[in-house]
Amino acid sequence: MKVTQILLVLVWFFCIYASTSFSANVTYDHRALVIDGKRRVLVSGSIHYPRSTPEMWPDIIQKSKDGGLDVIETYVFWNLHEPVQGQYNFEGRADLVKFVKTVAAAGLYVHLRIGPYACAEWNYGGFPLWLHFIPGIQFRTDNKPFEAEMQRFTAKIVDMMKKENLYASQGGPIILSQVENEYGNIDAAYGSAAKSYIKWAASMATSFDTGVPWVMCQQDDAPDPIINTCNGFYCDQFKPNSLSKPKMWTENWSGWFLSFGGAVPYRPVEDLAFAVARFYQLGGTFQNYYMYHGGTNFGRSAGGPFISTSYDYDAPIDEYGTIRQPKWGHLKDLHKAIKLCEEALTATDPTITSLGPNIEAAVYKTGSACAAFLANNDDTSDANVTFNGNSYDLPAWSVSILPDCRNVVLNTAKISSVSTISSFTTEPLKEEIGSSDDSCSGWSWISEPVGISKADSFSKFGLLEQVNTTGDRSDYLWYSLSIDLDAVTQTVLHIESLGHALHAFINGKLAGSGTGNKVKVDIPVPLVAGKNTIDLLSLTVGLKNYGAFFDTAGAGITGPVILKSLANGSSLDLSSQNWTYQIGLKGEDLGPSSGSSGQWNSQSTLPTNQTLIWYKTNFASPSGSNPVAINLTGMGKGEAWVNGQSIGRYWPTNASPNDGCTNSCNYRGAYQASKCLKNCGKPSQTLYHVPRSWLQPESNTLVLFEEIGGNPEQITFATKQIASVCSHVSESHPPHVDLWNSDAESGRTVGPVLLLECPYPNQVISSIKFASFGTPQGTCGNFKHGNCSSNKALSVVQKGCIGSSSCRIELSINTFGDPCKGVAKSLAVEASCA
């Protein structure tokens, strides 16, 4: 290894493992968190360490810092760290200490949400299933067995952090911790025991003496000194339960989660920015995006049920670790604008004045510092207002920020940052043929037996609830029964299940299936005279993670199971018969998920569209360094592994409803999860993230377990590309925040500018696909010239941008001429980078 390489490794090692020095004293007052005696305006973002890989963490965290974040917020996932009682896992994606140190190395703070209840669309809300089986336990209430386990795990995490000197009181990055989570949303269901539980939880948390404040979100009765905080799409109207506590927003939902069978939700950045600006306008000083990077539900970590493997969340940094524009850039500009106001924001409370119907001004003024926020809360009508003797245009549902109480640095509805068009480039699965267990197609397979095939099966009278039976060791539970009939008949098998899906096999053949939170199906079944075997495969798709008593929600075939329309017109209730049960699949015990089983079949004809089958192939990694996904179109439902690592459940046959989506979504007006949807009538998820760090250049192994039938030869890889970079700025845009100077400081007024920047290092702008100054229409990728367009626009932009990694073009008739006098004009550009 070269000397320079050794030095780089040593620098990296020091950054990650050496103690990064942070503030030693974190307190709070009614305005803000106080760090080393100074009130702070803080912007935070959620990144859940197990939803990405350790190799991805440094890049994601640096992009978060570049986007203007001060704090990284994460849950701690109990079932990840203690899957078996007393047996801990803090390796790989579960290396919490490494994650916190990686955040520290970037110079950011940490908010550690220990909970230990997480929700987070995570399996069982983050609780380990073994907790459910402790005698006498009741979750999240004044219950001694639960409190003992909750305190033990919380102490474990706190002690780990203290041992590594990671609390701010020790010079580390952790400035906040959270106990419990959104309990106030459901505590009424627990009666008076809820109040005593919350008091206990607060006392337990503060007894650890971490030296930093603790918070409880959505908990109006959080006892002192715990800070109660807000979660939601909007928290500007939230008030803490004490005049001595700051106004804090722990979850600003940047989008929403995707479910199998649902359309893809997204949240326009103009609305998100409006919500953030309104929060700081009305006294808030700590705001966190949930999520800033959503990531992936690897393995069986997704909750729900039916939460998809993608946890992209329409976050500013997407599932693959790529910046999502214009969301990331517009929020970055917003953060800069808010930070320009920090001195005034932290010095005093705002003075709120009405400027008209649904229009208000908030002014923070102390000494020489003055900052103002002008808000138009109307969801339809733009407005022109007079403030401090000056005139300001306010688009509907927007906030203008004036760091000097005179000049607008940013309006939340006017985006100055670039937009990008991303796409996936398809590559064939490059099978490596030649190993002893490969067929000529490159695929080998193992058929999973229908029904009971394992030695550890057992029999019980009656139908067993699934979660209590499997302990969530597998998604799968077989229910098997043999019956004798005197005559051949066509009957109907009626099955009722608590979910989440089932497949009914009669005499080894699939007869029908059902899916849902509760399943009720009537399946025509061909029975024969004599012995008939009924094999029912019940499966879970993530355990429930939210709601009062969610931990008691069951799954599986609890009945009744009835044979209807027998030969004599009667029915036969099978529910109380002596059923035989098998937990999990035979293949799960043999280890085919790693590709190591010796039973792979490599006959010349690959079976396709077959139920209950394992597939395996070896492949070469897609070239380059762009993010990788595997396109599982053509497969039905199951789970996939790459080099032994589960990339999660797949279900590309589960499509969203045909209606509910719109071509565009109006950001004006209150957002809720179903307001803005895309991908209607299409599979909810076809692309599944494969982290680059899990791949080798050659000799990779892909294994799939397919439940309902598919064709693995249709599988392809896809690499994520940025196809275009765009910007569209009008003459009414304020000057870019990077050019901010008050008039008094600059001595001149700066006009709006269009900025372009390539998304990746070492790229330059290689071509201008579109440029129009005048009245261009459309969006990135679909710009069109309007009735008015300067004939100089393309040449001006080409001259100013091609060959540079970034460029800045002033919107000026001196540059472009005036193609239509008296008409408001804008400049729209689409470019390519290479």
Residue 829 near residue 734, CB atoms below 8 Å? no
- Give the residue among 730, 753, 752 at the shortest CA–CA distance from 407: 752
Catalytic choice (149, 164, 180, 251) = 251
Residue 765 near residue 803, CB atoms below 8 Å? yes
Residues 276, 278, 281, CA angle at the centre, nearest 5°? 110
Count the alpha carbons within 13 Å of 572 in the hemisphere toward its beta carbon. 12
What lies within 8 Å, CB to CB, of 823 at 6+ separation is 774, 775, 788
Token digits of residue 535: 């094999």
- CA dist 100 and 161 (Å) reads 9
511-518's contacts with Cβ under 8 Å and 24+ in sequence apart are 513/708, 517/305
What lies within 8 Å, CB to CB, of 433 at 6+ separation is 440, 442
- 375 to 178, 263, 356, 687: CA distances (angstroms): 32, 32, 10, 40
Question: Across the chain, how many H-helices and E-strands are there?
Answer: 14, 43
For residue 173, is the peptide bond before it cis, meaning its omega torsion is within 30 degrees of 0? no
- CA dist 706 and 611 (Å) reads 7
Q: What is the DSSP string of 652-714?
A: TT-BPPSSS--SS---SS---TTSSEE-TTSBS--EEEE-GGG--SS-EEEEEEESS---GGG
Residue 449 near residue 537, CB atoms below 8 Å? no
Task: Verify whether residue 448 is a known catalytic residue.
Answer: no
Please provide the distance, in angstroms rounded to a whole number, between the alpha carbons at the two ends of the chain: 31
The DSSP code for 350 is P
Residue 536 near residue 523, CB atoms below 8 Å? no
Residue 418 near residue 726, CB atoms below 8 Å? yes
Three-state SS sequence of 614-635: EEEEEECCCCCCCCEEEECECE
- CA dist 261 and 70 (Å) reads 36
- Give the residue among 572, 612, 555 at the shortest CA–CA distance from 588: 612
For residue 648, the one-letter residue type is G
Catalytic choice (164, 182, 270, 830) = 182
Task: Verify whether residue 319 is a known catalytic residue.
Answer: no
Token digits of residue 206: 């503060």
Question: How deeply is 827 buried, as exposed, middle or buried, from its count of CB atoms within 10 A (0-12, 13-18, 19+)?
Answer: buried
Q: Which are the catalytic amino acids?
A: 182, 251
